[in-house]
A and B are shown apart, each in its own frame.
Chain A
Amino acid sequence: MKVYFLKKNNFIISYIHFNFKINNNNNNNNIIIFFLKKDIPTLAINFDLEWNRLKIAMDAIFNTAPLSDSLEGLYTLCENLCKYDYSSSLYQNIRNELIEYLKQEFINISKKLDEQNFLVSLSYLWTSFCKKLIMIRSIFLYLDRTYALREVKAGSLWSLGLELFKTYVANVSNIRIKAINELLALIEIDRQKKFITGEEENKYILLRTIIKMFIDLNMYEDFENAFLEASTIFYKKESRLYINKISMSTNSGQLIAEYLQSVETYLNEEVERCNLGCYNGYVDSVTRKSVTLIVENEMIKSYINIILEKGFEYLISSKAYNDLLRLYNLINRVDLLESLRIYFLNYIKKTGSFYVLDSSKDPVMVQSLLDFKKDLDDVLEQSFNNNDKFVNTVKEGFEIFINERQNKPAELISKYIDNKLRQVRSIPEETVEQLQERCMFLFRFINGKDVFEAYYKKDLSKRLLLFSKSINIELEKSMIAKLKDECGGGYTSKLEGMFKDMSVSKDLINDFIKEPEYSSRIGNVSLNVNVLTSGFWPSYPQSTYNMPQELLECQNAFSDFYLKSHSGRVLQWQNSLGFCVLKADFPKGAKELIVSLAQAIILLHFNNTDVLSYSEIETLSQMNTKELKKSLQSLSCGKYKVLIKNTEGKNVVESDSFVFNKEFESNLRVLKINSIQAKESLEERKTTREKVIKDRQYQIDAAIVRIMKARKTISHPILLSELFKQLKFSITPQDIKIRIESLIERDYIKRDLSNNTIYHYVL
């Protein structure tokens, strides 16, 4: 038999090896194993005597005095007693000892209840008790592992000790309540950051120990409930203080920003507090969720309206993107993003309406809106996490405010793009392209897209016909492609047709030059004719002039050439469009003048004489009064005075007469005098608008007939609501009434004989 004793950490663990003997002589070759018979000492044990030794040892441990026996001896003693069936008495005795000890200790500590360092005492008691209990358990390990584990409900000695400790904490003169209150007081001081410098670490250790005690004693819930309650009160108070200050202040926006900052700090602190890994953490991590929820609820949720009301507009208009991000995150935590979204939407609507509705801001409306959109994009990206809902809110907001004013935004967007496309030489191509893209964003929300089309078409036609040399055809086409993407091919087919006409005209004039039969008729004049298809282009007022022979011959030569290859057609010359380049030999230097056809006709008449009166010019040119006056004014009163008017003043009257300006001089060689052509007159705008309205009438008519055809009989209010649903632009009930009357006149529909408000479809 071999017995090994291994000594490790004061515990003696014995291994007994079985010794078996193999009998070789046995024929059966059986292995016979002889179990070692352990000798049990027959000596009778005096339990009381032996227990006394153990009790002395326990007392020594309780009093932290040196032990008289060796630990090894004590362990064996316990083991022996257990083997002689004294386990239960032993257990009972240990229990009594523990009770005795704890009773004494708790009497002591309850005397210190009102002392300042009660918590310190409690923590000391707890830690030393734990140490002692471990020691005792080590001595009685054998008992702990056999009897205690198997037979006793309370389980091991360790849990017995904690159980007993718990009953004292729970029952002796409010120790528990006192301890919790003390803890909460300490935590409040921590929250207010009022720990004395240098002491924080000790306090944190103390807090951590006591809270750990509650956890070990299975009483954490008591603490947690009290802690959460105290947190609620604390944050309620804290937030009310802030909010009172905010509502009193005139500078509430800034204060809100500060408030949000402190909320964030509080949240971070609570998270750290609930992280035992942090040096300042002492609350168990299970509480983290509840306590942060309290901060969120008390500081954000309860005051969400005040925060948004007082803070949101300030933050967004001062572009405080970090503060907005904080606001977004905090509100996101309490799941109230919808409130934030509504404030965001209102802000967009309010700001947008401010730009859109005030007609004095018209010249800068589009630029302001584009800048506004850019700012909002920044907000979305930097503060709102590009949240889809908020991205859509921006769109929603734009759609609402941009349609608050009819027609004007569409007109101004078209004008804005026109302006940029005319300046392509001074603006980099990419910039224009980006601007187009951004304008498309605005365009997308306009209900009256027909208005935009009308104005865009008009502007485009001017660019193509009057500025053909200075526009960038690629950029023009990319704009059309964008419109096509947005509204489909039907929307842009006419605009595309305009480009087609331009390129066809270019080929035509090349062919014309190649045919000397026609081109020789026009002499040295370099002629270019844009042949337009009438449906594509906006209609222009027809003006007829009496033209000098050389001009007339140009037209005739081209007409002959064109009609030769295009039978069944006529050409209708648009004299108000197009421009001429004249070479004028002024005594002080020759100049090239870019002028309108009307201006050219007037100037050409001065070849024969130096002085012409208004009436003479009128007879010669057969121009209508308005056009003649405008042309003469631009020649004699504008920037470049090619003609000299005999009277002062900016306006031309019938009695004026004009002299060719022989003294004319200028630094420039090429002078543009046809700007009146490029400018949009009020009249033109009016006709554009009228044309849109007229086109809309057809749409209204068609919609009414469509509805009537489907319903056969319908009452007036229902017809109205159906129409509002179908028509994309806004209309007034009066407009509709007029259209209904007109349809009744034309026998499309008729009124019910007995009831005026009911219509029937006429089959």
Chain B
Amino acid sequence: MKIKLNSWSSVALWKWVVTDEEDVCGICRNQFDRCCPSCKIPGDDCPLVWGQCTHCFHLHCMIKWLQTESSNQACPMDRRPWVYLTGDPTTQDSQQQQQEQQQEQQL
């Protein structure tokens, strides 16, 4: 072995898992990559939430929506009762996708 990797200082960008980069929040119509209208900078401070109905929104938008009376605690997209999804499956999906991509690259 002539050459050995000692250390690696690497850089990664984190992004929200959304199927399409152009996908927008159903409430504020901003892209998921950007933040909700009441925030200025996208990122940790303006996270996304998923419902069991698999719909995704900005957390701030969703909270605001649920606070309105007309919401009936329902998802604004399909009117089914809104239940926050925990341990969300999309991540695993996307992880699998990523791994597949990387495997493809390797090949």
Contacts and interface: CB of A to CB of B under 8 A. Distances in A.
Please indicate whether A and B come from the same complex rather than being unrelated chains: yes
Interface of A: 465, 468, 490, 493-494, 497, 525-537, 544, 546-547, 550-552, 554-556, 558-560, 562-563, 566-574, 577-585, 592, 597, 600, 603-604, 606-607, 622, 660
Interface in B2-31: 2-17
Given A567-B91, A570-B98, A584 B2 contact: yes
A570 B10 contact: no
Given A580-B5, A592-B6, A529 B12 contact: yes
User: Could you say which of B43, B47, B94 has the most chain A C-beta atoms within 10 Å of its C-beta?
Assistant: B43
A574 B9 CA distance: 11
Given A528-B10, A578-B10, A559 B95 contact: yes
User: Could you say which of A558, A560, A578 has the most chain B C-beta atoms within 10 Å of its C-beta?
Assistant: A578
B33 to A, nearest CB: 7
A571 B14 contact: yes
Contacts of B34: 535
Given A550-B5, A551-B5, A603-B3, A574 B17 contact: no
User: Could you say which of B3, B48, B106 has the most chain A C-beta atoms within 10 Å of its C-beta?
Assistant: B3
Interface of A is mostly: mixed
Contacts of A465: 9, 11
B15 A574 contact: no
Interface of B is mostly: mixed
B74 interface: no
B7 A527 contact: yes
A572 B14 CA distance: 6
Contacts of A584: 2-4
B50 interface: yes
B74 to A, nearest CB: 22
Given A574-B12, A607-B2, A533 B44 contact: yes
A563 B93 CA distance: 12
A534 B8 contact: no
Contacts of B105: 544, 546-547, 622
A534 B14 contact: yes
A471 B44 CA distance: 26
A606 to B, nearest CB: 7
A617 to B, nearest CB: 14
Looking at chain B, what size class is its interface with the partner chain?
35 or more
B6 to A, nearest CB: 4
Contact of A577 (B5, B11, B35, B98): B11
A552 B106 contact: yes
B10 A490 contact: no
A585 B3 CA distance: 6
Nearest to A501: B43
Contact of B11 (A532, A552, A660): A532
A490 B40 contact: yes
B41 interface: yes
29 contacts: A468-B9, A493-B40, A527-B8, A528-B9, A532-B14, A534-B13, A534-B33, A546-B106, A551-B5, A558-B12, A559-B98, A562-B14, A569-B14, A569-B17, A570-B16, A570-B17, A572-B12, A572-B14, A573-B12, A580-B6, A581-B8, A582-B4, A582-B6, A585-B3, A592-B6, A597-B8, A604-B5, A607-B1, A660-B2
B10 A573 contact: yes
A552 B10 contact: no
Contact of B41 (A468, A536, A555, A563): A536
Contact of B43 (A533, A550, A558): A533
A568 B102 CA distance: 19
B48 A568 contact: yes
Contacts of B3: 582-585, 603-604, 606-607
A531 B9 CA distance: 11
Nearest to A532: B13
Contacts of A581: 5-8
B10 A530 contact: yes
A563 B87 CA distance: 11
Contact of A533 (B9, B14, B90, B102): B14
Nearest to A577: B11
Nearest to B92: A563
9 nearest A-B residue pairs (beta carbon): A526-B7, A533-B43, A577-B11, A574-B11, A578-B10, A535-B42, A571-B12, A528-B9, A572-B13
Contacts of B13: 531-534, 537, 571-572, 574
Contacts of A530: 9-12
Contacts of A526: 6-8
Contact of A531 (B4, B14, B35, B94): B14
B10 A525 contact: no
B88 interface: yes
A497 B43 contact: yes
Contacts of B40: 490, 493
Contacts of B88: 567-568
B72 interface: no
Nearest to B5: A525
Given A526-B6, A551-B5, A592-B6, A569 B91 contact: yes
A580 B42 contact: no
B99 interface: yes
Contacts of B94: 570
Contacts of A554: 8, 10
Contacts of B15: 534, 569-572
A568 B47 contact: yes
A494 B42 CA distance: 10
A537 B42 CA distance: 11
Contacts of A569: 14-17, 91
Given A526-B7, A547-B106, A622-B105, 20 more contacts: A527-B8, A528-B9, A529-B10, A530-B11, A531-B12, A531-B13, A534-B42, A535-B34, A535-B42, A558-B10, A558-B12, A562-B14, A563-B95, A567-B91, A568-B48, A568-B90, A578-B10, A580-B5, A582-B3, A584-B3
Contacts of A494: 41
Nearest to B1: A607
Contacts of B48: 568
Nearest to A537: B13
B17 to A, nearest CB: 5
Given A556-B102, A567-B88, A568-B50, A580 B8 contact: yes
Contact of B17 (A551, A555, A568): A568
Contacts of A556: 99, 102
A607 B98 CA distance: 28
Contact of B10 (A555, A563, A604): A555
User: Could you say which of B7, B90, B98 has the most chain A C-beta atoms within 10 Å of its C-beta?
Assistant: B7
A537 B16 CA distance: 16
A604 B1 CA distance: 9
Given A525-B5, A528-B8, A528-B9, A568 B41 contact: no
Given A534-B13, A534-B14, A582 B41 contact: no
A578 B9 CA distance: 5
Contacts of A531: 12-14
B12 A597 contact: no
A579 B42 CA distance: 27
Contacts of B17: 568-570
B5 to A, nearest CB: 5
Interface string B59-84: 00000000000000000000000000
A530 B8 CA distance: 11
Contacts of B42: 533-535
Nearest to A468: B9
User: Could you say which of B15, B48, B50 has the most chain A C-beta atoms within 10 Å of its C-beta?
Assistant: B15
Contacts of B43: 497, 533-536
Contacts of B33: 534
Contacts of A551: 5, 8
A563 B94 CA distance: 10
A537 B12 CA distance: 11
